Amino acid sequence: MTNPQDRFQDLAPSIGESSIRTDPETVAAYAVDGMRPGAVVFPKDTQAVAHIVAYANRKGLAVVPTGSGTKIDRGNPPRRFDLVVCLSRMDHMIDVDTANLTLTVEAGVKFRDIQARLATEDDRCYLPLEDLETEAGEVVCSEREHRGSFLPIDAPWGDRATVGGIIASNSSGPRRLLYNHPRDVIIGVRFVSPTGAIVGMGGKTVKNVSGYDISKLMVGSMGTLGILCETTLRLLPLPERMETLLAAFDRLSDAAAFSDGILAGRLLPAAVEVMNRRAAAGFGSNQWPGAGDAPYVVAVALEAFDQAVARMKRDAASLADECGARDQTVLDEHRHGGFWLQAGNLTPAAARKYPGLVAAKLTYEMSRWKEIAALAETTLSAAGIAHTYMAHSGIGIGKINLLLAENGGQTASTAIDALNTLLDGCRRAGGNLVVQRAPARLKPKLNIWGAAGGDAAVTRRLKDHLDPNGIMCPGRFVGGL
């Protein structure tokens, strides 16, 4: 077990020598919480993943799967860590069936490539196409249906994340209000179980009750129950019209009256996002001088038939006036796409400036959102921690970024205290607080997954049965699974 190359050599005949990397540079690039794996492997298909996992299971090697690595920071530091399985080469779209509104893709396919593939002939796309940097591969565009369709998930890191990572982490954003989240969109999976078996469940039909709903079990399991290799997802026709109304407010109570008013009516917006000044300033508001230094901005995403968008815009605008909006504006389809893409990229964008950034997701009963928003504001202001706050109204989810330049000494303990106060608040409101990003050395002092739920014992039982040797992401998930 001394030379890393030797440890993984046995894999070469089954997956190819070039798929195994042990050079220091690659290994360093795939470090998790500062820990380096012995090797990084790049399987080219599901069969290769099965070989790798079966091998790891035999040898008791700890495996962490990854795609683009956008969410690799999530979870506790690994208890053991030997092998990264990177699915970036598994990037084939197996079946794009726009007539049936289903899509089957390999897990390494990027979310943005899917949306581009589903765009219309004249480039109407759910993501703003020209904003997407093209890396190695060009954005795929072929076989487009005249009307266009899209994958109805509002994924953070929309321009980088892979579909496998989005599902494994159950990623969602504000537009979940209208479209639900990955668990409601996924209708089939093919994955490699922790013992190395290739298992497939579900398929191209929305209705399917032919066995346990294993797809759901894979959603949000963070790679602890196997490696997702292929997935089948539901699509929706591209909305006829997509626009966003932004309204700026001086007080949280006014912003709240506006967002609650919209949700109480008969309108069906795609998202109603309440954000503080720093969040709004983090993206998009520079396109809108009207927001100025308004402490709160509410963004209402409108994605529907032409006539419905027109009415929502009208009704929302007059409601914003009634609620004392300082200013308001409407973003057209192109700016709308850019706005929500950037909203999902707030954490990574801010982390570039604040390396000590701590990001957390707050959950609570949706009716309690004002109380939690106010608690976050008072707690973090009292602690002197600059922060962004975004509340997904009508869903019961809030996202905060603590904008910390570094995380030593006093700052760290203040941040930890503040997060614990918020965790208590969320618990009282029926929810929890999950730390989604934190510097590695802060992690041992944080409740990364919040407070344990009543299902902890059952969860462990299931994990022990499905991964008897504990090779999948040991230590990283809820309860140190």
Partner 1 sequence: MDRGEMIRHLAEIVGAENVLSSDMDLELYSYDASLDKARPDLVVLPDSTDHVSRVMALAHREHIPIVARGSGTNLTGGSVPVKGGIVVHFSRMNRILEIDLANRTATVEPGVITLDLQSAVLKRGFVYAPDPASQKVSTLGGNFSENSGGPHCLKYGLTSNHILGAQMVLDDGTVFWTGGKALDNPGYDLTGLFVGSEGTLALATRLILKLIPAAEAVKTMLAVFETIEDGANTVSAIIAEGIIPATLEMMDNIVMRAVQETIDVGFPLDAACVLIIELDGMRDGLEEKAEKIMEICRRNRVRDFKLAQDEAQRAVLWSGRKGAFGAVGRVRPSYMCCDGTVPRTKLPRVLAKVMEAGRKYDLPIGNVFHAGDGNLHPLIMFDDRDPDEVKRVHLLGSEILKICAEAGGTISGEHGVGLEKLKETHLVFCHADLEFERRVKQAFDPKGIMNPGKMIPEPDCAT
220 near partner 1, judged by CB under 8 A: yes
Residues 244-273 that bind partner 1 (CB under 8 A): 266-268
Whether residue 91 contacts residue 217, with contact meaning beta carbons closer than 8 Å, is answered with no
CB 289, min distance to partner 1, A? 31
Range list of β-strands (E), 7-101:
20-21, 39-41, 63-66, 83-86, 93-97
Q: Kindly give, in sequence order, each residue whose CB lies less than 8 Å from that of residue 430, ignoring residues fewer than 6 positions away.
A: 364, 365, 368
Complex with partner 1: residue 207 or 352, whichever CB lies closer: 207
| By CB under 8 A, residue 101 contacts partner 1 | yes
Residue nearer to partner 1 on the CB measure, 206 or 382? 206
206 in contact with partner 1 (CB under 8 A): yes
Which distant-in-sequence residues (6+ apart) come within 8 Å of 17 by Cβ?
none
First to last CA, the chain: 25
Site string for partner 1, 23-42 (x = CB under 8 A): --------------------
Q: Which stretch binds partner 1 (CB under 8 A): 76-84, 332-340, 348-356, 459-467?
A: 459-467
Residue 130 CB burial class (10 angstroms; 0-12, 13-18, ≥19): exposed
Q: How many residues line the site for partner 1 (CB under 8 A)?
A: 85
Q: What is the smallest separation between the CB atom of 86 and partner 1, expressed in angstroms?
A: 24
Q: Encoding tokens for residue 105?
A: 């893709």
**Does 318 interact with partner 1 (rule: CB under 8 A)?**
no
Q: Does 416 bind partner 1 (CB under 8 A)?
A: no
The piece of 9-17, 130-138, 328-336, 445-453 that touches partner 1 (CB under 8 A) is 445-453
The CA distance from 368 to 314, in Å, is 28
Closer residue to partner 1 in complex, CB, 268/416? 268
Name which position in 307, 318, 378, 413 contacts partner 1 (CB under 8 A): 307
Task: Based on the shown chain and the rule CB under 8 A, indicate whether residue 212 belongs to the binding site for partner 1.
Answer: yes
Q: Binding to partner 1 by residue 65, rule CB under 8 A?
A: no
Query: At residue 143, what is the residue type?
Result: E
| Binding residues among 178-197 for partner 1 as defined by CB under 8 A | 180-181, 183-184, 193, 197
Strands 358-363 and 432-437, by their bridges, are antiparallel
**How wide is the angle at C-alpha 112 spanned by C-alphas 217 and 449, nearest 5°?**
40
- According to the binding rule CB under 8 A, does residue 216 interact with partner 1? yes
Rounded to 5 degrees, φ, ψ at 90 are -90, 75
Q: According to CB under 8 A, which residues from 372 to 411 bind partner 1?
A: 395-397
Instruction: Supply 44's token pair.
Output: 């080219």
Is 475 one of the binding residues for partner 1 (CB under 8 A)? Answer: no
Contacts of 345 (CB under 8 A, 6+ apart): 156, 157, 158, 159, 283
Of residues 132 and 274, the one with the C-beta less far from partner 1: 274
Q: Which is nearer to partner 1, 46 or 68 (CB)?
A: 46
Out of 46, 57, 115, 221, which residue is the one contacting partner 1 (CB under 8 A)? Answer: 221
**Measured distance CA(121)–CA(98) in Å, rounded:** 14
Q: Which is nearer to partner 1, 136 or 209 (CB)?
A: 209
Give min distance, CB of 201 to partner 1, in A.
6
**Site membership for partner 1, residue 355 (CB under 8 A):** no
For residue 431, give the amino acid letter.
Answer: G
When binding is defined by CB under 8 A, the residue of 27, 31, 236, 281 that contacts partner 1 is 236
Among 147, 251, 353, 428, binds partner 1 (CB under 8 A): 147
List helix spans (H) across 10-120: 12-15, 24-29, 46-59, 111-117
Q: Please tell me whether residue 97 binds partner 1 under the rule CB under 8 A.
A: yes
As a whole number of angstroms, the distance between CA 269 and CA 248 comes to: 18
